[in-house]
Structure 1
Amino acid sequence: MSERDEMIEKLRGERDSLKKELESTIHERDALLCEVNRLKFELQMSDLKRLKEEETSDVR
């Protein structure tokens, strides 16, 4: 195998490694975005509940 071929194989290996790392990072990012959206939803629901409770107490 020539030096050029060895370099090509090394670069392919590095590329494959970087692709795997990128996929892992993308999955982690997506999971974090889901968690952020879930927390935003919970916060909105909590705010709505609080507003409803305030409304109910104001009516009395």
Structure 2
Amino acid sequence: MVTRQTKSGRGPASTAYVSHVLDACGFPPRMIRCTRLLDLVTTMDPEATMIYLADHVDAGRLPER
């Protein structure tokens, strides 16, 4: 999401900004994200699902070093 602050850098839009943008629809960002994940899983696109989840790696699923 590109905002005035993010267009000049590499950081993500703030949670407060995204929440405010979504106020009118009545859904929190987490619900929209979960719905998107469900769609990716049911369409059997595992690569897209992994790309989408790459920022949240469950340490319990990583192999032992």
Q: TM-score, normalised by structure 2?
A: 0.28
Q: TM-score, normalised by structure 1?
A: 0.30
Q: Higher relative CO (CA 8 A, sep ≥ 6), structure 1 or 2? A: 2
